[in-house]
Amino acid sequence: MADFRLMQELAIESSSKIVLLVLDGLGGIPLSPGGPTELEAAQRPNMNRLAAQGTLGQTLPVGHGITPGSGPGHLGLFGYDPLQYDIGRGVLEAFGIGVEVGPDDVAARGNFCTVDERGEIIDRRAGRIATEAARPLVEKLAAISLAGVELEVKPVKEYRFVVVMRGQNLSAALSETDPQRTGAPPLPVRPLDPAADRTARLFNQWLESARQRLARDHPANMVTLRGFSGDPRLPKFESIYKMRPACLAVYPMYRGVARLVGMTTIDVRGDKPEDEFRALAAVWADFDFFFVHIKPTDSRGEDGDFNAKVKVIESVDSALPILLDLKPDVLVITGDHSTPAKMRTHSWHPVPLLLWAPETIRPDDEQVFGERACAHGGLGTIRAADLMPIALAHGGRLTKYGA
Amino acid sequence: MADFRLMQELAIESSSKIVLLVLDGLGGIPLSPGGPTELEAAQRPNMNRLAAQGTLGQTLPVGHGITPGSGPGHLGLFGYDPLQYDIGRGVLEAFGIGVEVGPDDVAARGNFCTVDERGEIIDRRAGRIATEAARPLVEKLAAISLAGVELEVKPVKEYRFVVVMRGQNLSAALSETDPQRTGAPPLPVRPLDPAADRTARLFNQWLESARQRLARDHPANMVTLRGFSGDPRLPKFESIYKMRPACLAVYPMYRGVARLVGMTTIDVRGDKPEDEFRALAAVWADFDFFFVHIKPTDSRGEDGDFNAKVKVIESVDSALPILLDLKPDVLVITGDHSTPAKMRTHSWHPVPLLLWAPETIRPDDEQVFGERACAHGGLGTIRAADLMPIALAHGGRLTKYGA
């Protein structure tokens, strides 16, 4: 918060353009000792040229040793300390499938589960039923109506779904219903704050109705709700940085996170890097800051497919000239976290960072964009949330502190 | 403040001598891609030898992306977090021209402006009148007297001047009179705190008197006052670090800042680096800590004269043997911020840092003193305010924390 006061005090308007290109899960590790990481293995002539002209470093999305989810990973890149600002899990799950969560809504993650005749849970994930099997059950849940509120229920994957409740004076200060073990019944929703009394009653009514409607649907004969959350009411990007921000992203979750900080989401035709860069070019005059999100680096990392992740990086590199032809004043290339293919999951490793700004850059000794080079780049190892002030400074968008 | 409690707890007396050599605005950037910075371009055999024997790093004066003014830049080097400690703009402006601001004084920055017949401002800078044209007008203002206080008014440059009010029970908690736009009259001074009622009245009387005396002096027929400030009552250097500090500086502003933290300012005959080093040698026995300030690196950077800035660095390097002959236990060479000649202004880039301490140094791999080498020096990238504890430690002046 103190940082935002400083940013709000120092940020000034400018005609400069800043691009933040996020390759989701960019950072990697070698498959075998001495080998290259995914980024180091990629043919990346454009990125290497930018690295030679620019300066490198590495970002810590949350802190040393901390593996971030997608929400914290992106909040950090936007300058919001992820330990201070929190997007609830219900909201993130809703964003992930393109469900809106407005300022007055409460979202929750739902799990189908199996209960016995006494109502005690015997399988917390209902035998991990298939996505297709869950679909008609979600339709049953979507048919539940409650007086005074609107409800939206959507499937996510396998046994997981999302519920969003919309109405007046709702509160997400609610306890979860998953007892986190078998042999116990689902817990009732309890208000964690008197203002949440009515919302708790409504969700308990909904749960009772769900129980009745699913009673014959073994193994998915009951549900639990977790991660109740609403709009985190984040300070808005434009009011902090005095830039009009645009989001170029294909996946709903990232568009949702961008909207939470007040970015305008731009529709992208197609899902290739060049499609995103062309969509960016089409709105170049209308915004000052462009967040471009590339998803498949993370997806191929989670698949454990090292070579496919390399290919994604190469496809971004090949498309980069479309972006560079726009002559951005500042270009940042980084990730929201690492997703080493060897690990098949998000990791805590620092994230490669490339900063390029032709007019104001102080180059370092590094000549290529890769994890080893970034580890001794001129920017050092910084918190992801410190990146925005650096980008603004290079865009001539921060005035002097003190006389 | 927490930091100072730790320093006060751990600092011990010693006979060691620590020298902090500040080349104002030292950091630079290349004029063209791949070229050297000003420091890298300089012939600097002495600095390079010290770099090879010592260890390098870079400092962040305030924080990532933040361009500091001279006040915050120096407070950071002295160990005072510039976001926590603040020297007011009126005080700094007064220091810049050698006007004292004592513990009971209030200083303000003044601007001549042009008002129309209704008293509304039509030019906030009175056509940027020349310094010479402003001088007789400042003399008119200096002739104003008010009961119970002393007043000092001095020209700064062009349309700018300084007023210092001296007396009992004055307060700087005052609103500014510049409406920050034309078409509005100057604002009255308002107290921001009941303790400032009398000071506000006095400044308003002074402004009314200024208005009358300047009425015929178009275009400089009125003034505005900004940056009311008094002694920031900083914790004193000696009480924090248990060292007797001396300041060797030619320019008034830096002598003023040094006095605010309790340093003794030493007179320097001449304005060359060797003059400052000789003045230092003359008082070597009387102090433990020596802040040596070299101004022209910053001035030539602000002129945009890359080669002249290189020459200043070379002149410091040539004079260094005078300093080294004194056999300091710890020598730090750095800047208060960067002033790249290419940018002609202060910048946010990290500042090169060289630490040399023959008895306790842990050397790194770096062999020369320059921005690229500093980017991977052994000290890493640190907040400027973290430098003092490192210097004290190398001087054997900090005891162990905990058993």
pLDDT at B7: 96
DSSP letter assigned to residue B24: T
pLDDT at B31: 96
Confidence of residue A96 (pLDDT cuts 50, 70, 90): confident
pLDDT at B86: 87
Confidence of residue B96 (pLDDT cuts 50, 70, 90): confident
Which residues, in sequence order, are bridge partners of residue A106? A165
Whether A310 shows a pLDDT value over 70: the answer reads: yes
As a whole number, mean pLDDT of residues A80-91 equals 93
pLDDT at B1: 44
Cβ–Cβ of B29/A360 closer than 8 Å?
yes
Which residue has tokens 């935002």? A4
pLDDT at B2: 52
Closest CA to B362 of B347, B338, B335, B380: B380
> pLDDT digit string (tens) for B146-171?
999 999 999 998 999 999 999 999 99
> pLDDT digit string (tens) for B338-361?
999 999 999 999 999 999 999 999
**Probe site for chain B from A64, A329, A362 (most B CB atoms < 10 A):** A362
Closest CA to B70 of B202, B251, B306, B237: B251
Average pLDDT of chain B is 96
Cβ–Cβ of B371/A378 closer than 8 Å?
yes
DSSP letter assigned to residue A234: P
Whether B103 shows a pLDDT value over 90: the answer reads: no
Closest CA to A316 of A51, A44, A77: A44
Angstrom distance (rounded) from CA A223 to CA B60: 53
Angstrom distance (rounded) from CA A388 to CA B50: 35
Query: By CA distance, what is B349's nearest residue in A?
Result: A362
As a whole number, mean pLDDT of residues A181-191 equals 97
Confidence of residue A103 (pLDDT cuts 50, 70, 90): confident
Whether B52 shows a pLDDT value over 70: the answer reads: yes
List C-alpha distances in Å: B265 to A171, B259, B276, B292, B334.
62, 7, 12, 10, 20
Angstrom distance (rounded) from CA A61 to CA A384: 5
pLDDT at A241: 98
pLDDT at B380: 95
**Probe site for chain A from B64, B91, B336, B347 (most A CB atoms < 10 A):** B64
On whether any CB of chain A is under 8 Å from the CB of B68, the answer is yes
Please give, rounded to a whole number of angstroms, the shortest distance from the CA of B64 to a CA of chain A: 6
Chain B hits for A10, CB-CB cut-off 8 Å, are: 66
As a whole number, mean pLDDT of residues A255-275 equals 95
On whether any CB of chain B is under 8 Å from the CB of A388, the answer is yes
pTM: 0.91
Whether B133 shows a pLDDT value over 60: the answer reads: yes
Q: Which residues between 348 and 377 in chain B have a beta carbon less than 8 angstroms from any beta carbon of chain A?
A: 348-350, 371-372, 375-376
Cβ–Cβ of B70/A380 closer than 8 Å?
no
CB under 8 Å to A13, separation ≥6 — which residues?
A: A242, A397
pLDDT at A3: 67
Q: Least CB-CB distance to A389: which of B66, B92, B343?
A: B66
Tally the C-alpha atoms within 13 A of residue A319's C-alpha that lie toward its C-beta.
Answer: 20
Structure tokens at A365: 């000794």
Query: By CA distance, what is A382's nearest residue in B?
Result: B64
Angstrom distance (rounded) from CA B79 to CA B77: 5
Cβ–Cβ of A403/B62 closer than 8 Å?
no
Please, are residues A93 and A107 in contact by the beta-carbon 8 Å criterion?
A: yes
Q: Give me the domains of chain A, ranges plus CATH numbers.
A: 2-84+234-394 (3.40.720.10), 91-229 (3.30.70)
pLDDT at A1: 42
> pLDDT digit string (tens) for B18-46?
999 999 999 999 999 889 999 999 999 99
Angstrom distance (rounded) from CA B172 to CA B227: 9
Tell me if the bond preceding B350 is cis, omega within 30° of 0. no
pLDDT at A264: 96
> pLDDT digit string (tens) for A324-374?
999 999 999 999 999 999 999 999 999 999 999 999 999 999 999 999 999
Q: Cβ atoms within 10 A of the Cβ of B130, count?
A: 11
